[in-house]
Chains A and B, each alone.
Chain A
Amino acid sequence: MNFDWTEQQLESKKSIGALFDKDALDELDKLESADVPEIKSTILKYMKLLAPSGYLKAAQGPEGAGESLALTAAQEEVSQASSPLFLAVEATVRLFGGLVAGFGSDDLKQEILNRLAEGEILAGVGISEAEGQQTTAVERGDAYALNGAKAFVTNATIADELAIFGTVDDKHAFFVIQSEAEGVNIGPKLETLGYRGLAVSSVELVNVEVPKSRVLGPFDDSAALDYIRMVEAMVLTQASIGLSRRLLNTATAYAKEYKRGGRQIIKYQEIGFKLAELLTLVQTAEWMGRRAAWLVEKGDSEAATVANCAKVFSAESAEFVASAAMQIFAGAGYISGNIVERGYRDAKYASLAGLSNEVSRMTIADDILKRYQI
């Protein structure tokens, strides 16, 4: 047992944290109202800054699981600096990159992984579909013809490459397509409650021709989808933790500075005790995220379940933290254009993204029932 980061991990946290100085945070906060080209250039700029640390190629694919804890150490720094940057980067390198590294052909890996690691391209993964729709592909010689639609694809409007989940004769497959390819219709950036700095849009696929070398699968099992669901849970966990941390720090600083009745408001139990609860939730979520990463690293059979537990807990904690931070800021927080107001809107995202908290809970329970099957 050991609850410390290694020297190397501490060093990596420090050097990555140092990338996000005041100017960087100001620039990243502007993603909120940026247009799509500005979002793209800002994300790429920070990808380039992150590249030398190895952040963009860490823990990709099931084979990269051994780096999960080291990655978590670094992710805690990036997610705290900027929620939209974090998700845009993770969608590119951990979701898309993880699929290619774990399940792609050697040619595809060669074509894509280096460019991802250098921060040269952006990518996304499309899984969710609208009710009644199903993305399917049929074999056509050396290629597949892909048809369907995805409702919410992170990075779609800024991505160079997309991995689209679909089925071939009911078997799972991921189709790696260029966003400019013929038949790929990417909708406008969706207007959203929160995470406005994240380029999410729909993707329609009309007879898109995908060469077999760019198809992951078709698989006889659900390993690739299960893998990507687990990575998604881990990423959303860190996104929630980063957001909660930043809101907690912001609210704490405010409560120490702002005075009422001649006293700092943190000295009032109504405020101080609320902050104590928030800190408790944030620390607990952090340890849960680290433990989940450790289980992934060990290849433990409960890793996916604990990752789901961490996702649900951290997402619900983030909503609680954001609401309480707003309460502490009161009127000053309710005015548009500050971190607390934005955080309040952003916090909802992780509870409904990936596997929604509802589906996550059912998945957690299914695993328990399987373990104690009568």
Chain B
Amino acid sequence: MDFDLTSEQLMFKEQVIKFARNELAPRVQEYDLRAEFDFESWKKLGEFGILGLHFPEEYGGSGADVVTVALTGEALAQGGADAGQLLAYGAHSFLCADTILVHGTDEQKKKYLPKLATGEWIGCMGLTEPNAGSDVASLKTRAEKRDGKWVLNGSKTFITNGGIADVAVVYAKTDPSAGHAGISGFIVEKGTPGFTVGQSFHKMGVHASVTSELFFEDCEIPEENLLGIEGMGFMMAMQTVEWDRSALLAPTTGGFISLIEKCAIYAQERQQFGRPIAKFQAVKHKLANMKIFLEASRSLIYRIAWCKDQGRPLNHLEAAVSKLFIGDWSLGPTNDALTLMGGYGYCHEYDVERFFRDSRLAAIGGGTSEIQKLIISRMM
């Protein structure tokens, strides 16, 4: 057992922190207030090589392992990258691109991955529907084969990057009678007739990410846009879970590292009753809570990443534990951080306000905490 990162990984981590601090963080507040996607930061993420980090070199990536990708997520958040931007990166690189990388044909990989690696194209993934959230198998979007083409009908909702994506991995029923086994994956490009995108949702947090509905009305796509094997869609969607439970959660630990630093400095500077508030036990108690959560969450995330690197099949129980813990147990210490900063914590300039809103998503997106409990209790 050994929780160490290699010296290369540590060096890379430092570079990513510096990159995020210098190149991304300065625009974060502005884009959160405007509730807009920051294309300039996106371009920089692509240029730095983060968007395709784990892709093989032939597709414009660096062939990084999952642990390195997870520590990148941690480092980006530590350096002050926006959680919405990181969510967009997750949806793009893991939910969309990785599914193409793992299940796509050579042609599909050659066509999409290099553009996704640079960020020239943005990807999204469409699974959730207005009436199919936690109950994925009940999804209604239909794909039928007609005259050598696939015809899609239905709608998707809560799709991260939906409104700005150039390419979408979309799940639809090819056999409505077959439940999970009747779901297949498809690649749909922006501009395909019959494919439209709704307005962006006004969300509680992650404002710098675009979340939209997708509509398919007799949307015809070529036969070769089937992704992977017909009927294997649910399995493909589930394979992204390891990314979801490691690299996509890693920003929470990075965010807490940064939060602890901010709160520690604030508590020493802020004077009340003639002394820095860092002298008060009630303030120190909150700092300690943040640290305890940070230390508790670390191993959970990297365990999932490391196991994937070993080529082990996903341990659903461990993945659910990781997601449930970070989703639910982060809320108390996040609230502690906001309380520590008082009125300033409630205001936008102090970042904690944004972090507080953003962090609420972890217990909802990518499988709610209740679904994690369902998975765990069934496996006990």
Where the two chains meet, the residues of A that have a C-beta atom closer than 8 Å to any C-beta of B are 1-6, 9, 69, 252, 256, 266, 269, 272-273, 275-277, 279-280, 283-285, 287-288, 290-291, 294, 298, 305-306, 309-310, 312-313, 358, 360-362, 364-366, 368-369, 371-374
Contact = CB atoms under 8 A, between A and B. Distances in A.
A373 B268 contact: yes
Contacts of B4: 1, 298
Given A1-B3, A273-B370, A276-B374, 17 more contacts: A5-B1, A266-B377, A269-B373, A272-B374, A275-B376, A277-B324, A279-B376, A284-B297, A284-B329, A287-B296, A287-B300, A288-B295, A306-B295, A360-B288, A365-B291, A368-B260, A372-B265
A361 B303 contact: no
Given A291-B3, A310-B295, A364-B292, A3 B264 contact: no
Contacts of B292: 309, 312-313, 364
B363 to A, nearest CB: 12
Contact of B285 (A69, A365, A373): A365
B261 interface: yes
B84 to A, nearest CB: 27
Contact of A279 (B299, B302, B307, B380): B380
Give 8 closest A-B pairs by Cβ, nearest first. Answer: A272-B377, A365-B284, A276-B376, A287-B299, A361-B288, A372-B264, A276-B373, A273-B373
A365 B377 contact: no
B295 A276 contact: no
A11 to B, nearest CB: 14
21 contacts: A1-B306, A2-B2, A3-B302, A3-B303, A3-B306, A4-B1, A6-B1, A275-B380, A276-B320, A276-B324, A283-B321, A284-B296, A309-B291, A309-B296, A361-B285, A365-B283, A365-B288, A369-B278, A372-B264, A372-B268, A374-B269
A288 B376 contact: no
Given A273-B377, A365-B284, A287 B291 contact: no
Interface string B260-282: 11001101110000000010010
Nearest to A272: B377
A365 B2 contact: no
Contact of A284 (B283, B321, B375): B321
B301 to A, nearest CB: 10
B37 interface: no
A374 B284 contact: no
A5 B1 CA distance: 5
Contacts of A4: 1
A305 B268 contact: no
Given A1-B67, A279-B321, A309 B295 contact: yes
Contacts of B300: 283-284, 287
Given A69-B1, A288-B296, A374-B268, A368 B287 contact: yes
B264 A371 contact: yes
A366 B281 CA distance: 10
B140 interface: no
Contact of A1 (B264, B302, B373): B302
A285 B5 CA distance: 21
Contact of B295 (A9, A275, A291, A360): A291
Contacts of B295: 288, 291, 306, 309-310, 313
B161 to A, nearest CB: 30
A360 B289 CA distance: 11
A312 B291 CA distance: 11
B54 interface: no
Interface residues of B, number: 49
By CB atoms of chain B within 10 A, which of A275, A365, A366 has the most? A365
B372 interface: yes
B207 interface: no
Contacts of B288: 309, 312, 360-362, 364-365, 368
A5 B288 CA distance: 30
A361 B377 contact: no
Contact of B1 (A3, A283, A284, A312): A3
A374 B1 contact: no
B298 interface: yes
Contacts of A310: 295
A20 to B, nearest CB: 22
Contacts of B31: none
A269 B377 CA distance: 9
B284 A362 contact: yes
B124 to A, nearest CB: 30
A209 B268 CA distance: 48
Given A1-B67, A364-B291, A272 B373 contact: yes
Contacts of A358: 281
A361 B284 contact: yes
A313 B296 contact: yes
A208 to B, nearest CB: 37
B215 interface: no
A374 B67 CA distance: 33
A369 B3 contact: no
A369 B287 contact: yes
B269 A294 contact: no
Contacts of B297: 284
B1 A290 contact: yes
B325 interface: yes
Contacts of B281: 358, 362
Interface string B315-345: 0011011001100010000000000000000
B1 A280 contact: no
A186 to B, nearest CB: 35
Contacts of A312: 288, 292
Given A6-B1, A313-B296, A369-B287, A284 B325 contact: yes
A5 B376 CA distance: 23
A371 B4 CA distance: 21
A256 B260 CA distance: 42
Identify the interface centre among B296, B307, B375: most chain A CB within 10 Å of its CB. B296
A275 B302 CA distance: 24
Contacts of B284: 361-362, 365-366, 369
A69 B307 CA distance: 20
A283 B322 CA distance: 9
B1 A369 contact: no
A1 to B, nearest CB: 5
